[in-house]
Structure 1
Amino acid sequence: MEEQKNFLHSEGDINTTAERTRWQSQLDHPQTEEMLGEDARYFLHQSMSTPCLDVLEKADGIYIEDARGHRYMDFHGNNVHQLGYSHPHVVQSIKNQLDTLPFSPRRFTNQVAIDCARKLGEICGEDLNRVLFAPGGTSVVGMALKLARVVTGSHKVISLWDSFHGASLDAIGVGGEACFRENMGPLTPGVERIPPAVSYRGVWPREDGSDVHYADYLEYVIEKEGGVGAFIAETVRNTDVQVPSQAYWQRVREICDKHNVLLIIDEIPNGMGRSGEWFTYQKYGITPDILCIGKGLGGGIVPMAAMITRDRFNVAQSISLGHYTHEKSPVGCAAALATMEAIEQDHLLEKVKADEAYVRDRLEDMKSRYELIGDVRGVGLLWGVELVKSRQSKERATQEAEKILYRCLELGLSFKVSQGNVLQLSPPLIIDRSELIRALDKVEQAISEISAG
């Protein structure tokens, strides 16, 4: 039973716990209760999704609002909300596009798709200038894996345990989270998983906190396995916010170059400015061979994703890598282009770097005063607060984390819990400093109350 409980807590807040039952029992709102019942009746149930938590009616700026009129600062947003919700520049761009060209069939192109692809090449750097669009991040991961096979002639891939690259069979085939692979049977052949560079509770911890030896193990596996075509990873793991060192990533890039292994970087949740750079890999001074982006690319409105690769890998002319119905969606491209324009016009990259310093100091101060906090880590406006029952044993404080989640919802703040005990805080990049202060006040209030028992 304990093993099953730990498995269920491998990602997110769970929709079958006592805390969820308690939350729904106090809603006291017939319309909400009826809609949740209808939702549970018509949607297929799955972990972390349906049955649902609440019913939403509005989303604007950094806030979501439920059917009862309760407003929540959204620090979750499924990572699509870099610009918050209903950003006026994105909304207007979509409206304008709908009035002219709402859809572009296969074999035809359009100006906004060309402009969007060109702009992506500009912000990615070096020779990352060949683009394919798709409706979602899972799809572009699949395209990246296909392209890697074409370029290298090998189907073998190395990925990281506990990683997430999407929920389709090919994506979970290279993913490392048990809750997505459970009972799925045979998955992608030729995939080897290795431990991620985790400093706080990694499998090979070192007293000085160094993590380059995790990269050295990557080389060991490449050499022993033979015929490896690609290594896929997030630069910074989004779910529970694992932040490797620059030395680790420099070493990984060196290893991939040495062994002719393509480096596929998944920036689907963290791209579009969350780290204070357009893409998190830029913070580490490396460049991937294939880049996967999505989520926030569509401005929090349109499902939109892209695979970007180097010019010299334009070698799949006879293969359909991503033959998607909305391959060059004018509306999706209008949303993506407007998102990039808004990030530039609102100077959000510079703002995020300033916010990073504030959040780091605030969370470290909390850690110094609450024994419940075992670790604090993050970049830009992506932060993880790991809760433990004991700093010595590092036993995960899963019940406390869930209680804090629901207490924060009562206080008007929504976020997610990862790995059962990590509060993952990822606010919209447009959040102003006073709102950020109020949000962290709510987090501290909840931690203080739960710590006091």
Structure 2
Amino acid sequence: MDNQYMKEVQDAIVHTYNPFPVVLDHGKGAYLYDEEGNAYLDFAAGYAVCSLGYGNEEWNQALKAQIDKLCHTSNLYFHTRTKEAAQALKKLSGMDRIFFTNSGGEAVEGALKAARKYAYTKGTGRYEFIAMEESFHGRSFGAVSVTGHEAYRKPFEPLLSGVRFAKYNDLNSVKELVNEKTCAIILEPLQGEGGINLATEAFMKGIRKLCDDEGILMICDEVQCGMGRTGSMFAWQEFGVRPDILTMAKAIGNGFPVGAFAMTEKVAEFSLAPGDHGTTYGGNPLACAAVAKTAEIFEREDIPAHVRKVGTYLAEKLDELVDTYSCVVKRKGKGLMQGIEMTVPISEITGKALKKGLLVIGAGSNVLRFVPPLIITEKEVDRMITILKEILE
């Protein structure tokens, strides 16, 4: 029945995905269940989206209550959830102004526009961007343009002009690309799709100083690594280098499709004005209810502290795999955004894991990625490791 269902779906939609052979029905905690009731321990969280796991009753009730009140107006009007959600993200992110979008890709688009408008208003004549090799910023036109993977860009070229790519964690390679046209530098503090690559403190601080010295904006893309996943609310906070523009999505809504880009007051003053940028659905009452409740739970339960504790345990267990199995080369990442570089095909591992009731995904060409719900426990880490050992032995 599952295969027939998937065939019917594929016959009805544009086939751009390569789904696993399972039809999911519901979830609870860190587990998902298919139509037959089979359980799957989820170490993918919908690509790092479902931060509070599945079936959180408090979160569910908040959205149900909002549905009964109001789901959509337009951004010509404020609603009761706007202030609540915006203030929550301002507090957690350390930024000054918030613009709500529907996704991470849209957040990146807004960030790029904000940076160019800033340069335009200031009269600098700057318009070029420096991005990083192995980066991933989304699949919309502007986001693909600053994504450092040729496979994502080539089919859609020519893309946005004025984009140059530097080597990640190589400050000199960035400096070599800076010129009088450079508008902004965009990077992920912890690269996700590129293979779980963590920025060094020297690199982050070096980028910040370079931007300050040259009058360039620093954009941090934290769509995947933000909102508690590395052990702080946002990854930039661990480096002590505040970006000028910050993108976020995924975990901020715990599964509801919502994103945002944020900026400092300095950027906001000279950046987007009425009519420059907009969205029909972004920041709608239902999305803001999801953000506000997610943020409330994160603060009250101190989710980042939990991530630091369980993330340390996960790192120890993954290091044991590195020490035990020759096909596991090294561990990468931080908190609950980690990966192991492997010499065997990642698709073989994910396929075998699925049959054993474990959901894991790849990152890059040779990294097995672990981005579970942030409520994951050490017991569930142990279960995941046991399954991996069964596959590797």
Place the TM-score, normalised by the shorter chain, in its bin.
over 0.9
CA distance in 1, matches of 2:29, 2:151: 32
| Structure 1 residues 180 and 321: alpha-carbon distance in aligned structure 2, compared to 1, 3 A threshold | farther
The answer to whether structure 1 residue 166 and structure 2 residue 121 are counterparts is no
Q: Is the 8 A contact 1:243 1:378 kept in 2?
A: yes
Residue 68 of structure 1 and its aligned partner are, at CA, apart by 3.2
Note the residue ranges of structure 2 that are not aligned, 5 or more in a row.
Answer: 121-125
Question: Where in structure 2 are the equivalents of 1:100-119 lying within 5 Å?
Answer: 100-119=69-88
| Structure 1 residues 191 and 384: alpha-carbon distance in aligned structure 2, compared to 1, 3 A threshold | same
Match of residue 5, structure 2, among 8, 32, 35: 35
CA distance in 1, matches of 2:271, 2:242: 21
Match of residue 213, structure 2, among 242, 246, 258: 258
Question: Where in structure 2 are the equivalents of 1:256-405 lying within 5 Å?
Answer: 256-300=211-255, 302-314=256-268, 315-316=270-271, 318-388=273-343, 397-398=344-345, 401-405=346-350
Matched with 1:68 is: 36
Matched with 2:388 is: 443
Match of residue 143, structure 1, among 106, 110, 121: 110
Residue 402 of structure 1 and its aligned partner are, at CA, apart by 2.2
Q: Is the 8 A contact 2:52 2:374 kept in 1?
A: yes
CA distance in 1, matches of 2:51, 2:283: 22
Matched with 1:205 is: none
| Structure 1 residues 258 and 316: alpha-carbon distance in aligned structure 2, compared to 1, 3 A threshold | closer
Matched with 1:7 is: none
Note the residue ranges of structure 1 that are not aligned, 5 or more in a row.
Answer: 1-30, 198-213, 389-396, 449-453
The one-character-per-residue Cα deviations of 1:356-380 (angstroms, maximum 9, x if unpaired) are 2211111112211111111111211
CA distance in 2, matches of 1:81, 1:179: 28
CA distance in 1, matches of 2:218, 2:80: 31
CA distance in 1, matches of 2:348, 2:161: 40
The answer to whether structure 1 residue 176 and structure 2 residue 139 are counterparts is no
CA RMSD of aligned residues (A): 1.5
The one-character-per-residue Cα deviations of 1:303-334 (angstroms, maximum 9, x if unpaired) are 00011100122234545343111133111001
Normalized against structure 1, the TM-score is what? 0.82
Q: Secondary structure at the match of 1:248?
A: helix
Matched with 2:123 is: none
Residues matched between the structures, number? 385
Match of residue 101, structure 2, among 110, 130, 134: 134
| Structure 1 residues 358 and 402: alpha-carbon distance in aligned structure 2, compared to 1, 3 A threshold | same
Q: Is the 8 A contact 1:293 1:307 kept in 2?
A: yes
Q: List structure 1 segments (4+ residues) > 4 angstroms apart after TM superposition.
A: none
Q: Is the 8 A contact 2:310 2:376 kept in 1?
A: no
Q: Which moved more, 1:362-371 or 1:131-140?
A: 362-371
| Structure 1 residues 347 and 179: alpha-carbon distance in aligned structure 2, compared to 1, 3 A threshold | same
CA distance in 2, matches of 1:218, 1:286: 17
